[in-house]
């Protein structure tokens, strides 16, 4: 099994993206942060690497998707409560994020999310029950 995850995301303006995520209460690992990349700490062993687009291009021969026009990935993070989900979405909106859709309540799972400044979609969920009880197993 794996012990860590690093999701790599291209960003247009690294200082602006860092300020956005700091406004949500996240921090950065200084050991892996410089003018080209910033290591966003989501939780112990969960990281998102925010890479300037020119630096990101060095890791792939494919074109970089414009996350405001297409969706390549949905980043989903678990939260301890519905209130935490809603509070984090509210912080994101206050920091300049967009909300792509209304909250979703599936009984056993509540979710909401936001699009960051570069259009990456961050989904937040709180699991409060057994998904098999709702026929979602």
CATH of the domain at 59: 3.10.180.10
What pLDDT, on a 0 to 100 scale, did the predictor assign at position 137? 45
Least confident of 43-47, 125-129, 131-135: 131-135
Least confident of 27-41, 72-86, 123-137: 123-137
Checking if the pLDDT of 136 tops 90, the result is no
pTM of the model: 0.88
Which range marks the domain in which residue 54 is found?
5-134
Contacts of 103-111 with C-beta under 8 Å, sequence gap 24+, read 106/134, 106/136, 107/133, 107/134, 108/133, 108/134, 108/136, 109/136, 110/82, 110/85, 111/85
DSSP character at residue 48: E
Look at the chain and report how many structural domains it folds into. Answer: 1
DSSP character at residue 32: G
């Amino acid at each position: 099994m794996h012990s860590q995850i690093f999701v790599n995301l291209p960003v247009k303006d690294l200082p602006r993206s860092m300020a956005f995520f700091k406004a949500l209460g996240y921090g950065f690992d200084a050991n892996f942060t410089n003018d080209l990349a910033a290591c966003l700490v989501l939780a112990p062993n969960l990281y998102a690497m925010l890479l300037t687009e020119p630096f990101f291009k060095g890791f792939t021969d494919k074109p970089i998707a414009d996350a405001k026009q297409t969706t390549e990935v949905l980043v989903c993070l678990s939260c301890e409560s519905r209130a935490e989900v809603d509070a984090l979405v509210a912080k994101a909106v206050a920091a300049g994020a967009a909300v792509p859709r209304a909250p979703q309540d599936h009984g056993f799972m509540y979710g909401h999310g936001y699009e960051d400044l570069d259009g990456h979609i961050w989904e937040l969920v709180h699991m409060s029950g057994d998904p098999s009880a709702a026929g979602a197993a």
